[in-house]
Structure 1
Amino acid sequence: MSDVTRAEICAIACAEAWLGDGEILASPTGVVPTIGVRLARATFAPDLLLSDGEAMLARGTWALGEAPPGIEGWIPFRAVFDLLYTGHRHVMMMPSQIDQYGNANISAIGDFARPTRQLLGVRGAPGNTVSHPTSYWVPKHGPRSFVAAVDMVSGVGYDRAATAPAAAKFHELRRVVSNLGVFDFNTDDHRMRVVSVHPGVTVAEVLAATAFDLVVPPDLPETRTPTDAELALIREVIDPRGARQREVAG
């Protein structure tokens, strides 16, 4: 297959966040991460547990907006917390803001006492980030999303986790995927590092769209493109209606 789109590249980048995770609950937020985790389970991460969005663990690979082909388990709401607090979950959230140490904001924009925009609220972000692996998906990479300092800390970053041993014990921010590239925090001081840039994107574009200094390794690779088999799964099985194209900017 040819003419791979940016959305499809983002989908494979999100999928690879769960590479090697084994039998854990995978919880994606957003269209592209949902495509990514279903693609991962259908290919290189067959042991992942996927919810149907309610109280069941789904079997097989199914299209966005449709029911799964089968059920392999029951996961009531209380059981999610048992998995969360024992580290048997990997969530990919969609922050409105994220900073160089991975502090994430999904709560409010502006002064918290009088915000200019009310968002979701803190929700489960604190528990997620101190209890099990957490990744992030940002469909529109820009200086308003990759910020020098978040307006409200909802998800805990490495600098804050370091001040509380209980928070740091299980703290792991695995990956950040945006419409421009892939990032992690595998540096001595846990500052955000560029892992790869998507095909057609330059490092200069990424730096210009980021309001803090990124760590940029030499010989930076491009994000890999999906194989023909992965593209077939994305286009024909998981997202035949093309919802991915509406979520990704650029």
Structure 2
Amino acid sequence: MRAGSADVGAGARGVTRAEYCVVACAEVWRGAGEVLVSPMGVIPSVGARLARLTFAPEVLLTDGEALLVGPGGAVEGWLPYRQHLALVTGGRRHVMMGASQIDRFGNQNISCIGDWARPARQLLGVRGAPVNTLNNPTSYWVPKHSRRVFVEKVDMVCGVGYDRAGDAPHHRLVRVVTDLCVLDFGAPDRSMRLVSVHPGVSVEEVREATGFAPAVPDEVPYTREPTVEELRLIREVVDPGGARVREVGR
């Protein structure tokens, strides 16, 4: 079925767009095994904890400093910085970063807008994006899908895409989750491909909000609904304060 514009699947439970995004982020770590999960942003963090509580119990969560923690924050182990770096550079971490710009091959920019020598806007800076993308699996979360983010060519390459990675042994771009859809890099040339649209979103809306033409299969499904238990965990255990709603403005 080609996805349309009707809000299919929400049903009596009133599943929100933010909750579809949480489930889509959680799915990034399905089958990942014992890897360190590094989610950046509220919805990726909620998704990571949901995955740990349900179908991905092996993943490791960190407090961002020196400890491994459970979904509720209980300390489970010590992760000194040297060990963290070993995981980062050896392919045993899966990070979900943000992107101020991203192109069809997954080149990501979080440094500046405009000419890097005289940028119109200074952003976070390159930070760890090159090491992340070349040394461990990487996904992206974009809370507002638009042509300003999904561009034909990024102004500066921070995260490395498939057309630049060469034979880096651990380079793997897995998914891009946005407030409209889920994409991967499954096109024949390793460029971006539409995987699903969230209920309430049409394929045409995704095309209009993207500054290049992603590969679009003949049949585009809707992003899966959370199960009854997943919805309970999201609303009552992982994010009872509803921070997820504030990150997705649509």
TM-score where L is the length of structure 2: 0.94
Give the aligned partner of residue 121 of structure 1.
Answer: 125
Secondary structure at 2:149 match in 1 = coil
Q: What's the offset of the Cα at 1:91?
A: 0.1
Q: What's the offset of the Cα at 1:76?
A: 1.6
Give the aligned partner of residue 65 of structure 1.
Answer: none
Q: 1:39 aligns with which of 44, 50, 54?
A: 50
Task: For CA contacts below 8 A with separation 6 or more, give which structure has more relative contact order.
Answer: 2
Alignment of 1:141-220 (within 5 A): 141-161=145-165, 164-165=166-167, 167=168, 169-220=169-220
Select between 22-31 and 50-59 the one with higher mean Cα deviation.
Answer: 50-59
Give the aligned partner of residue 31 of structure 2.
Answer: 20
State whether residues 101 and 108 of structure 2, in contact with CA within 8 Å, keep that contact through their aligned partners in structure 1: yes
**Structure 2 counterpart of 1:130, which letter?**
L
Give the aligned partner of residue 8 of structure 2.
Answer: none
**Structure 1 counterpart of 2:127, which letter?**
R
Aligned Cα RMSD in Å?
Answer: 0.9
**Structure 2 counterpart of 1:158, which letter?**
Y
Secondary structure at 2:48 match in 1 = helix
Q: What's the offset of the Cα at 1:249?
A: 2.8
- Aligned-residue sequence identity (percent) comes to 61
Alignment of 1:16-95 (within 5 A): 16-59=27-70, 61-62=71-72, 68=73, 70-95=74-99
Select between 115-124 and 150-159 the one with higher mean Cα deviation.
Answer: 115-124
* Structure 2 CA distance for aligned equivalents of residues 57 and 29 of structure 1: 16
Structure 1 residue 99 corresponds to structure 2 residue 110: no
Give the aligned partner of residue 16 of structure 2.
Answer: 5
* Structure 1 CA distance for aligned equivalents of residues 57 and 204 of structure 2: 37
* Structure 1 CA distance for aligned equivalents of residues 113 and 225 of structure 2: 34
What do residues 87-116 of structure 1 show as CA deviations (whole Å, max 9, x unaligned)?
A: 100000001110000000011111111111
Q: Structure 1: any 5+ residue segments left out of the alignment?
A: 63-67
Q: How many residues align?
A: 239
Q: Structure 2: any 5+ residue segments left out of the alignment?
A: 1-11
Q: What's the offset of the Cα at 1:53?
A: 2.2
Structure 1 runs of 4+ aligned residues shifted over 6 Å read none
Give the aligned partner of residue 135 of structure 1.
Answer: 139
What do residues 20-59 of structure 1 show as CA deviations (whole Å, max 9, x unaligned)?
A: 0000100000000000000000000000000022211012
* Structure 1 CA distance for aligned equivalents of residues 88 and 78 of structure 2: 16
**Structure 2 counterpart of 1:181, which letter?**
C
* Structure 2 CA distance for aligned equivalents of residues 103 and 25 of structure 1: 23
State whether residues 35 and 92 of structure 2, in contact with CA within 8 Å, keep that contact through their aligned partners in structure 1: yes
State whether residues 90 and 170 of structure 2, in contact with CA within 8 Å, keep that contact through their aligned partners in structure 1: no
